[in-house]
Amino acid sequence: MFQKVTLENDVHILTEAVPHVRSVAVGFFVDVGSRYEPPEINGVSHFIEHMMFKGTERRTAKDIAETLDAVGGQLNAFTTKEYTCYYARVLDEHFDLAVDLLSDMIFASKFDINDIDRERNVIIEEIKMYEDAPDELVHDLFASTIWDGHELGRPIIGTSEVIAGLNRADLLDFYRTHYTPNKIIVAVAGNISHEQVVEKLRSIFETKRGTTNPRLMTAPLPSSKIMCRYKDTEQVHLCVGTPGLKLAHDRNYYTFQLINTILGGGISSRLFQEIREKRGLVYSVYSYHTSYHDTGLFCIYAGLSKENMEQALELIIAQIRDMQRNSVKDEELQRAKDQLRGNLLLSLENVSTRMSRLGKSELYLGQVIPPEEIVARVNKVTAVEIQELAKEMLKPENFSLATIGPWEDNGSFTRLLENL
């Protein structure tokens, strides 16, 4: 059972008591990510995330690293396209310590010029490492292909050229604009009461002031393109897909989750069985559906030899075509529903997952949907609805293709789409 309170300065606090565990997970969600960056400072949200670990008025970077290590806890952070999260997991007796540390990092980081210069080099090395991992890089290439020119198509991490040009003023201006109380959600799950959490957080946040004006978001206009980046690798890494659905608590959203599960959501999925198990064309093949405030992204990934590319693409299109033209069998549909149900309920045995779910639900939906209600919505989806939504969302004119490796499209993908 979760509880929620909003402080006078508009900080949202959500808690979920899990009394049968000994741990507590706490996350500070800041409503800012790479989507809200001008192109000339792309990557600044991620840069700021790094700087939060580099020292405060009370703690050095070494102190920050040692504080939770000393009690067996975990401390980390990540940046997405639409939010940034700083989180910790500790024994329940160390909750106050974790909150003190996170709040100190977020509100009192020094942004020392020497630390900025040093961390700039770290991030540039991180970008180089990413560039050397085509199985990861291809997903960013796909996003930039389907959302060409839109902020959602830009990399979260930025580019070496932009990062090299960022200075302390850029970081502080962006930080002061976006790290305001009305853009912060605190989510806590574990062996702790709602009253304890609110009492502790109120003492920290009640003096914080400042607001951010509402943002005007423009949904991307998807483009159907083919982007092939040559790289001398053993495999070709491909992403093929279409725009998806925004994160919402409605029938279409859960229907599309089932489409994704049936197509490429596990080792029993159609793509895994047809492309890997029956024909041995790939080692890795899967699909995913990522949702944002006003749009989404459906993508199928595969890594394979260039000689197998056309056959693999043909099989992918064939499976999509089959879903559009033929009703999903009852047994397959029920298996997908049970898979989603199991994934959801098993994930809730982890307090970090519970915490993350609270924060993300509040950020995107303004409410936390009980797991039982989600399961009920999924169970109501019919085979007819899956077929109709597959026809609507997976149209040939919506598809884009991005590849990294020793392969160039010779028009084969366009010809395959004509069969959809």
What are 183-228's pLDDT values in tens digits? 999 999 999 999 999 999 999 998 888 776 677 788 898 889 999 9
Is residue 178 in a domain?
yes
Q: pLDDT tens digits for 18-77? A: 999 999 999 999 999 999 999 999 999 999 999 999 999 999 999 999 999 999 999 999
Is residue 11 in a domain?
yes
Looking at the structure, tell me whether residues 66 and 141 fall in a common domain: yes
Looking at the structure, tell me whether residues 65 and 183 fall in a common domain: yes
Contact in structure between 151 and 180 (CB atoms under 8 Å)? no
Domain boundary among 175, 205, 235: 205
Q: pLDDT tens digits for 316-341? A: 999 999 999 999 999 999 999 999 99
d(CA 144, CA 68): 38
Given 49, 82, 362, 385, which residue is catalytic? 49
Looking at the structure, tell me whether residues 300 and 172 fall in a common domain: no
pLDDT value at residue 331: 97
Backbone torsions φ then ψ of 15, nearest 5 degrees = -135, 155
- Would you call 80 helix, strand, or coil by DSSP? coil
- Would you call 171 helix, strand, or coil by DSSP? helix
Is residue 235 in a domain?
yes
Backbone torsions φ then ψ of 21, nearest 5 degrees = -115, 170
Rounded mean pLDDT, 375-391 = 97
Q: With a cut of 80, say whether residue 282 has pLDDT above it.
A: yes
How many structural domains comprise the chain?
2
Is residue 362 in a domain?
yes
Q: With a cut of 80, say whether residue 314 has pLDDT above it.
A: yes
Q: With a cut of 90, say whether residue 414 has pLDDT above it.
A: no
Looking at the structure, tell me whether residues 69 and 175 fall in a common domain: yes
Is residue 33 in a domain?
yes
d(CA 413, CA 420): 11
> What is the edge-to-edge ordering of all strands in the sheet holding 282-291?
226-229, 400-404, 236-244, 296-304, 282-291
Q: With a cut of 90, say whether residue 416 has pLDDT above it.
A: no
Looking at the structure, tell me whether residues 276 and 367 fall in a common domain: yes
Tokens 């599960």 identify what position?
261
Looking at the structure, tell me whether residues 115 and 171 fall in a common domain: yes
Rounded mean pLDDT, 148-156 = 95
**Token output for 182:** 């009305």
Q: Is 66 a catalytic residue?
A: no
Beta-carbon count within 10 A of 124 CB: 17
Looking at the structure, tell me whether residues 25 and 147 fall in a common domain: yes
Domain boundary among 205, 235, 252: 205
Is residue 212 in a domain?
no
Looking at the structure, tell me whether residues 176 and 258 fall in a common domain: no
Angle, CA of 218, 221 and 222, to the nearest 5°: 140
d(CA 286, CA 269): 8
d(CA 89, CA 82): 23
* Mean pLDDT of all residues belonging to the chain: 95
Looking at the structure, tell me whether residues 176 and 298 fall in a common domain: no
Looking at the structure, tell me whether residues 16 and 45 fall in a common domain: yes
pLDDT value at residue 418: 84
pLDDT value at residue 216: 76
CA nearest to 3, candidates 181, 191, 180, 197: 197
Rounded mean pLDDT, 401-406 = 97
Domain that holds residue 363: 226-417
Domain boundary among 205, 234, 259: 205
Is residue 37 in a domain?
yes
pLDDT value at residue 311: 96
pLDDT value at residue 329: 96
Rounded mean pLDDT, 363-381 = 96
Looking up residue 381, the CATH number of its domain turns out to be 3.30.830.10
Give the percent of the chain with pLDDT over 70.
100
Is residue 220 in a domain?
no
pTM of the entire predicted model: 0.95
Looking at the structure, tell me whether residues 256 and 398 fall in a common domain: yes
> Which H helix or E strand runs over 299?
strand 296-304
Looking at the structure, tell me whether residues 175 and 241 fall in a common domain: no
Strands 296-304 and 236-244: antiparallel
